[in-house]
């Protein structure tokens, strides 16, 4: 299988890439930092040297870079089995007080990036009559919370995008699943004092995605909401 993962060099994206590589899949990842991508690619190759690892430096907030990335993917993959729109940024704030331009910054990365990448890859995926798109949303896609601001707005929008995709792609055999994790160990929590047993592991999300992908062609999980056992932080 051929897997495309945005934000694949750290956190949830990296855990997902590792899981698919372990299972013998080729992966094409992207992120903004080349050094992190170089390191991740080497470690993925060490996990399984029988698969192909591709990567590109991409800023998901820049439309041209997203479309160019899609072109690069289709040069290497003549078939795309799974697309995982994982890349995103988290910046807290209150609507009344957050910095001017914050909403635009978050929408560009958290919504426009997945939107333009998916649009660019859909013609190929529709021809295949089979594929699976995962959009990594958030608990913030479902419930407003204090200091959520523009971030929560962008994640609500991503969930809406997923629901529209689900309806549009039914006739093409393409599954669409929204994954909404609560607190998960990733860059967003780096430097925090949260205890390890109070927060989910990135591998929890990766295992969930892999399991969903093993269902029969006629079954689809539309939405998954995951939280730490003791609830949100």
Ranges 151-155, 195-199, 228-232: which has the least confidence: 195-199
Quick one: which of 123, 125, 134, 127 has its CA closest to 179? 134
Strand arrangement of the beta sheet that strand 82-85 belongs to: 53-57, 26-31, 2-6, 82-85, 131-136, 174-181, 223-226
Give the residue-averaged pLDDT of 224-229.
94
pLDDT digits (tens, 9 = 90+) for 14-56: 999 999 999 999 999 999 999 999 999 999 999 999 999 999 9
In whole angstroms, what is the distance from residue 83 CA to residue 177 CA? 10
Report the pLDDT value the prediction gives residue 45, as an integer from 0 to 100: 96
List all residues 6 or more positions away from 160 whose beta carbon is below 8 Å from its beta carbon: none
C-alpha distances out from residue 188 to 25, 92, 135, 154, Å: 28, 10, 18, 16
Within 58-112, residue ranges assigned H as helices are: 63-76, 102-107
CATH class of 2-226: alpha beta
Residue range 136-193, pLDDT digits in tens:
999 989 988 888 899 999 999 999 999 999 999 999 999 999 999 998 887 666 667 7
Q: DSSP letter at 170? A: G
Distance between CA atoms of residues 119 and 146, nearest Å: 33
Closest of 106, 65, 113 to residue 89, by C-alpha: 106
Read off the pLDDT of residues 73-105 as tens digits, 9 standing for 90 and up.
Answer: 999 999 999 999 999 998 888 888 989 999 999
Please give the Cα distance from 143 to 194 (Å, whole number): 22
Q: Whole-prediction pTM value?
A: 0.94
Phi, psi of 228 (to 5 degrees): -60, 150
* pLDDT tops 70 at residue 226: yes
């Amino acid at each position: 299988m051929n897997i495309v993962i945005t934000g694949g060099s750290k956190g949830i994206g990296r855990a997902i890439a590792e899981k698919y590589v372990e299972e013998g899949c080729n992966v094409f990842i992207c992120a903004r930092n080349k050094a992190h991508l170089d390191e991740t690619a080497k470690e993925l190759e060490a996990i399984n040297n029988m698969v192909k690892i591709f990567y590109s430096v991409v800023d998901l907030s820049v439309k041209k870079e997203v479309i160019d990335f899609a072109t690069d993917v289709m040069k290497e993959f003549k078939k795309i089995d799974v697309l995982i729109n994982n890349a995103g940024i988290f910046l807290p704030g209150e609507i009344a007080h957050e910095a001017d331009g914050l909403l635009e910054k978050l929408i560009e990365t958290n919504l426009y990036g997945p939107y333009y990448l998916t649009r660019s890859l859909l013609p190929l995926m529709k021809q295949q009559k089979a594929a699976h798109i995962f959009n990594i949303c958030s608990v913030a896609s479902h419930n407003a919370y204090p200091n959520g601001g523009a971030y929560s707005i962008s994640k609500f929008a991503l969930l809406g995008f997923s629901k529209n995709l689900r309806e549009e792609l039914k006739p093409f055999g393409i599954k669409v699943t929204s994954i909404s994790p609560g607190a998960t160990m990733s860059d967003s929590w780096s430097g925090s004092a949260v205890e390890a047993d109070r927060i989910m592991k990135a591998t929890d999300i990766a295992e969930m995605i892999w399991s969903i992908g093993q269902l029969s062609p006629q079954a689809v999980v539309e939405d998954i909401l995951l939280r730490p056992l003791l609830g949100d932080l």
